[in-house]
Amino acid sequence: MRFAGKRAVVTGGASGIGRATALRLEHEGAEVWIGDIDVPNGQALADASNGRIHFVRTDVMQVADIAALMQAVDAAGGIDVVFNNAGAGGAREKIDAISAEDWDRTQNLLLRSVAMGIRYAAPLMIARGKGGAIINTASIAALQTGAAPTAYSVAKAGVLHLTTMAAADLSQHNIRVNAVCPGFITTNIFTSALGISGDKRDAANGMIGQVAAQAQPLQRAGAPDDIAAAVAYLASADASFVTGTHIVVDGGMTIGPRHSWDPNAPTMFSALEVFAQ
């Protein structure tokens, strides 16, 4: 019960990583407010929680919605934890084809929303005077190419630097700011980005899981609970001396080139061995 008596905010809490994290924090004692545009799933989660999870319809593309969510939690007794998690795949075009409008929309969804989550939570946390923890969802796409489209990757890289800047700005108030970088996690973010829905979504997610299990050293697909566990750690007193950094939760995907962990992957030296024989 690391979060007994604590109140937490989770954006994008109606599904995927956000839902898993809301349930994890509630299970460990927190009272949780989830903000999401998915009213049916968000309200259903709240209704099944015996009053421990609350749903506030929140579109993180609307700054006023973010401010209202933070104010609602503050009015209930104060904010202890914020998980800025809401997002989607964003625009898929490469840099030589993307429109300015799609670029801005992706940055606003994935980067500005995090900045404004911090912006509107931090003054309330400061005024309360009890410190707190802010965790932001970045991605391994912030660390390397090839993991996601350009606009998404750049936004997530911005989230990482925003995290370090905010950690510096808020350290004097005992507010810690960190990020989590998920790898290949089986949520609906991939199928939604490709417009796959209905019965095809389940089949596609199954295929994604199979591909993920072969894409990294740890041969299983990542699950939302894997990220929730990392967020819970960063939000807890166990991480009371941790700020301005990020945790990569990716099954080892970013360890290095495939041949660094897959003995069957070809290397330059294995290719040249034929000439040495």
- Torsions phi, psi for 58 (to 5 deg): -140, 120
CA nearest neighbour of 218 among 249, 178, 186: 249
Asked if residue 102 lies in contact with residue 152, where contact means CB atoms within 8 angstroms, the answer is no
CA nearest neighbour of 178 among 141, 222, 227: 227
One-letter amino acid at 79 equals I
- Kindly state the DSSP code that residue 257 receives in the 8-state scheme: S
Strands, E assignment, the chain? 7-11, 31-36, 53-57, 81-84, 132-137, 175-182, 246-249
Collapsed DSSP state (helix, strand, coil) of residue 252: coil
For the annotated catalytic residues, the residue numbers are: 152
CA nearest neighbour of 136 among 106, 108, 166, 107: 166
Residue 132 has which token pair? 């707190």
Distance CA 255, CA 253 (A): 6
Distance CA 168, CA 222 (A): 31
Asked if residue 152 lies in contact with residue 165, where contact means CB atoms within 8 angstroms, the answer is no
Asked if residue 217 lies in contact with residue 255, where contact means CB atoms within 8 angstroms, the answer is yes
